[in-house]
Amino acid sequence: MESTKQRMNAIEWFLLIVLSVVWGGSFLFNGIAVRSLPTFSIVAARVTVAALVLHLLLAVRGIRIPRQRRVWSAFFVMGILNNVVPFSLIVWGQTRIGAGLASILNATTPLFTVLIAHAATHNEKITPLRSAGVAIGFVGATVVIGPDALFGLGSDIAAQSVVLFAACSYASAAVFGRRFSRMGIAPLSTATGQLTASSLVLFPAALLVDQPWHSIALNAEAIVALLGLGVLSSALAYILYFRILSTAGATNVLLVTFLVPITAVLLGALVLGETLVLRHLVGMVLIGIGLGAIDGRLFWRLQRQRRAG
């Protein structure tokens, strides 16, 4: 039996918030990188840099990555579902739609996760409260990002469809990735193996499709974006991702897609001096209510208090 629980503790919530910050930066970094680099080159550089960073970290800590064939088969499946497919589709999609709309479409990930986890697992089943929480959280994310981002909805069906498919791929990866904790593989080793497998798929693809020796002229802006994608939005992010996934489950770890718009708005206000407006606050409240419903703890306490009263 798996020990994955449906409610998260304080440490897991903190890690989820940190993950939302470093993962949310990927939309900014992607937006910068696509100005001068082709799709496969961006995603190949992202996972390769991340894999190298994590291999260095493993070496410093004296940890050996597992070498069994069944483990590496799982790494490759996870890498394709969690990196190769969604990274490529989102980066390509962002060449044709804005980051705001891409973020809204990406926020459908928990919706897909709830459905896939319900069908594929025995301990992450759909409940009315969790379903309501996911719906409220999605509305909140949309409100935070803003209605202006929705104006392009329907204008480029192909780009929007591939970002939705990327969200479905993320959801499938989260459910598939639960097996690594059962296999006794630590989050750091899992993140390293997944990103290494992704590199072995994407690096040759970038050489074949993009022919970077002809089409790429790196500039300082692109290099910074690639380093941000690799070190922060991939290496660090996936250590956190697999840590949360191993104990809190697929649906909970992908609640991060609701938190990403909040952290983006707050970082914009703190770092760039951008203004917080009423819709930001309303959206944050809705996301908080949605997360509370999915976690369930607050609602169960209120229900107990009513019964006791």
pLDDT number for residue 81: 95
- Specify the number of domains making up the chain: 1
In a domain, 217, yes or no: yes
Q: Are 79 and 169 in contact (CB under 8 A)?
A: no
* Residue 256: per-residue pLDDT: 84
Domain assignment of residue 284, yes or no: no
The 10 Å Cβ neighbour count of residue 6 is: 17
Residue 3's pLDDT is what? 46
Inside any domain, residue 309? no
pTM of the model: 0.79
The angle that helices 85-93 and 157-176 make with each other, rounded to 10 degrees, is 160
Separation of alpha carbons 66 and 70, rounded Å: 10
Which tokens hold the place of 80?
């394709």
pLDDT for the residue 151: 67
Question: How confident is the model at residue 57, as a pLDDT?
Answer: 94
pLDDT at 1: 38
Nearest to 241 by CA among 176, 295, 305, 304: 176
* Predicted pLDDT at 309: 57
pLDDT at 150: 65
Question: Pick from 87, 86, 92, 99: which is nearest to 28 by CA?
Answer: 99
Residue 212: burial class (beta carbons within 10 Å; 0-12, 13-18, 19+): middle
| Residue 142 belongs to some domain of the structure | no
Report the C-alpha gap between 70 and 199 in whole angstroms: 19
Looking at the domain assignment, is residue 52 inside a domain? yes
pLDDT at 267: 66
Question: Residue 162 is part of which domain span?
Answer: 10-131+149-272
pLDDT value, residue 69 = 94
Whether residue 207 lies inside any domain: the answer is yes
pLDDT along the chain (309 residues), means of 10: 61 90 79 81 90 95 92 96 89 79 80 86 80 85 75 75 92 92 91 95 87 75 91 92 85 81 72 72 84 69 61
